[in-house]
Structure 1
Amino acid sequence: MANMGFFNDFDDFALILVLFILLVIVGAAD
């Protein structure tokens, strides 16, 4: 049960990471 908080935080981090990668790709393609 202690891992649930970790996975919740990781999910938020993963979402931010994906958005950042998309931003980098768009910036590189421009």
Structure 2
Amino acid sequence: MSEVGGAFRNPGAILVLFILLVIILASGCFGV
């Protein structure tokens, strides 16, 4: 679980992953 601890110490990484997830979900929903 070291990657989880690193993510909590680096909020920027979580923000990037969250944005990528939103883009992927949006692409799937709208068929872009």
Using the size of structure 1 for normalisation, the TM-score is 0.64
Larger radius of gyration: 1
Unpaired runs of 5+ in structure 1?
1-7
Q: Which has the higher contact order (CA 8 A, sep 6+)?
A: 2
- The 4+ residue runs of structure 1 with deviation greater than 2 A are none
Using the size of structure 2 for normalisation, the TM-score is 0.61
Aligned residues: CA RMSD = 0.5
The percent identity for this pair of structures is 23
Matched positions, count: 22
